[in-house]
Amino acid sequence: MPGYKAPIEDTLFLLRDVLGYERLGNLAGFAEAPLDVVEAILGEAAKLAEEVFQPLNRIGDLEGCTRHQDGRVTTPKGFKPAYDAFRQGGWIGLSAPAAYGGQGLPMTLTSVLGEYLSAANLALSMYPGLTQGAIAAILAHGSDEQKSTFLPKMIAGEWSGTMNLTEPQCGTDLGLIKTRAAPNEDGSYAITGTKIFISSGEHDLTENIIHLVLARIEGAPQGTKGISLFIVPKRRVKEDGSLGEPNGVSCGSIEHKMGIHGNATCVMNYDGAIGFLVGEANRGLNAMFVMMNEARLAVGVQGLAQSEAAYQNAAAYAKERLQGRALSGPKQPTKPADPIIVHPDIRRLLMSMRAFNEGARALVLWTAMKADVSHRSDNDADRRAALDHLGLMTPIVKGVLTDTGFENTVKAQQVFGGHGYIAEWGMEQFVRDARIAMLYEGANGIQAMDLVGRKLGKDGGRAALAFFNEVTSFIKESGADESLAGFVKPVERALGHLQQATMWFMQNALARPDHAGAGATDYMHMFGLVALAYMWARIVKAAQTKLTAGDDGETARMEGKIATARFFMQRMLPETGAQLARITSGADSVMALAAEAF
């Protein structure tokens, strides 16, 4: 049975020594969460992940969710008490405003919580995860009445939330939405239509479910400009806040999926359900984007989380499984064979997972801290710069961390040899579960187009230029430090590739947008590699500082960081050269064949 241990030490090292968490002490919520408090909070989060969520991971996979004839859905055995423990701990509102019962702590902590919980049990973590997205949308666009009606219950975890976008005929292209909203006399709307792929759409964990639904008000313009966002509670809410009658919404069926069996992915039928407009009419996509951006970062974290959990189990197996002898001579001559961790090809697999995980964790925390700055700073320039960073990094975190996270679950499975294919070992579940993250909240090709087609050129390329400048400054500052040379030079070379690719798009994609489309995925991954490389260079700098300071207890771990950084630079970063070649080959060979030839 697989295990999981939350990487608290690494999280704290990154926050404290690499990313300067304490420099944000003047922001709201940060004063209440200095690093010693963070450590205590993460300790509790780790317990919940390791002791409550993780033991249910395989049960959830085996048992799945059950839809009863009356439309009720039962979650796997143990999910309800685990959810209750989570809810009662006040975790859902960790970063939510105190005005609605939240704790107002940094969103950065919610992001760490997300990593630990989704590593331990992705399917279970998705129930409160969707609620957090729904809270964010209501906070940003709901009326005061909507906020006071729904937020306290949602933040307390008594009610949960969902996002309802997809329909059978439309996923990516939301302009094709058919679900319709007919105005009622009291200002509410009657919502009618079918939504598919609704995660946590129906379940037995909470007494009410607050669906956020995209629909088209009768007579609205065609396409994406005629879409509005509605709150549709599963059960109506009386004036006194207590629960009323069922609303006209029900789960028609549960999807049979490759993985995340413990989460109920529902077909939701709306049959004149009463809904309340959120924000302005026909501006629903705008409102939904708040949820989507938050959700996309959270999904990127899921990619990292599954990779970390899979890695931990692969590393443990590699140290135990005896098979063959080291090429450099027996390492455990008294045993019938050496543990397979002596084999360079096994090391290669483990190191590539590790180098990704630790770099990606830094990238996530860096971006989460920017999210806090964007919400909580009173300095306009800081907020703007943080928002720029957030917009730029959201598709990269989502696309790169889920693609590579999935690949890593496959690598971890490979370490187990044939046993990796056997369900009882739990490694194939990581592969099946991690696979969803490349697809939902915008398939990764959409992330790549969001980056290349929208984020890159926005405001004259301000966000990308700011990133390039920051990395360039780091390179200049660190250039004189010889102990960093082996790390700074590869970053400089990779950044050069990224800038060349960016320039190539600027010169070619305007005349032929297909050039951007054909290179988008490679560009997204190249950007991700450069961002990870920058994180690793900063990690090395911090590690060198600690080593120089001579903190003996940390020596081995800091030397490990430096060794892992070297692996990243030598073995993972060179990919940018091939990516550049592909990008600058353009769309010709990609688009040459007629559609009928396929």
Which of 15, 26, 16 lies closest to 379 in space, CA to CA? 26
Maximum separation of any 2 CA atoms in the chain, in Å: 83
From CA 576, how far away is CA 578, in angstroms rounded?
5
Count of alpha carbons within 13 angstroms of residue 4, beta-carbon side = 32
Selected from 35, 182, 439, 547, the binder of its own copies by CB under 8 A is 439
* Residue 202: CB minimum distance to its own copies, A: 17
Name the segment binding its own copies (CB under 8 A); options: 368-376, 422-430, 474-482, 543-551: 422-430
With CA atoms as reference, report the closest residue to 184 among 275, 248, 245.
275
Q: Which residues of 439-460 are buried (b: 16+ CB within 10 A; e: fewer)?
A: ebbbebebbbbbbbbebbbeee
Q: Does the annotation count 441 as an active-site position?
A: yes
Beta carbon nearer to its own copies, 375 or 566: 566
- Binding of residue 98 to its own copies (CB under 8 A): no
Binding mask 263-292 for its own copies (x = CB under 8 A): ------------------------------
Which of 50, 63, 84, 514 touches its own copies (CB under 8 A)?
514
Which CB atom, from 236 or from 343, has the smaller least distance to its own copies? 343
Q: Binding of its own copies at residue 517 (CB under 8 A)?
A: yes
Residue 252 in contact with its own copies, rule: CB under 8 A: no
User: Which of 122, 90, 85 lies closest to 109, judged by CA?
Assistant: 90
The interaxial angle of helices 458-479 and 380-415, nearest 10 deg, is 70
Looking from the CA of 588 toward its CB, the CA atoms found within 13 Å total 4
By beta-carbon proximity to its own copies, the closer residue of 281 and 439 is: 439
Q: Is 59 in the site for its own copies (CB under 8 A)?
A: no
Q: Segment contacting its own copies (CB under 8 A): 53-61, 143-151, 234-242, 445-453?
A: 445-453
Shortest approach of its own copies to residue 560 CB, angstroms? 5
3-state class (DSSP) for residue 253:
strand
Are β-strands 265-278 and 249-254 bridged in parallel, bridged antiparallel, or unpaired? antiparallel
Among 162, 166, 192, 302, binds its own copies (CB under 8 A): 166
By CB under 8 A, name the one of 256, 333, 381, 553 that touches its own copies: 256
* Pair of tokens at residue 465: 């230029």
Should residue 587 be labelled a site residue for its own copies when binding is judged by CB under 8 A?
Answer: yes
Catalytic residue among 441, 554, 575, 596: 441
Q: Does 485 bind its own copies (CB under 8 A)?
A: no
**Smallest separation, CB 343 to its own copies (Å):** 6
**Alpha-carbon 492 to chain mean position:** 28
Decide: is 511 part of the binding site for its own copies (CB under 8 A): no
For residue 61, how many other CB atoms are within 10 A of its CB? 22
Question: Contacts with its own copies in 309-338 (CB under 8 A)?
Answer: 315, 318-319, 322-324, 327-328, 336-337
**Contact flag: residue 339 with its own copies (CB under 8 A):** yes
- What letters, b where the CB count within 10 A reaches 16 and e where it falls short, cover 330-344? eeeeeeeebbbbbbe
Instruction: Please report whether residue 510 would count as binding its own copies according to CB under 8 A.
Output: no
Active-site amino acid positions: 441
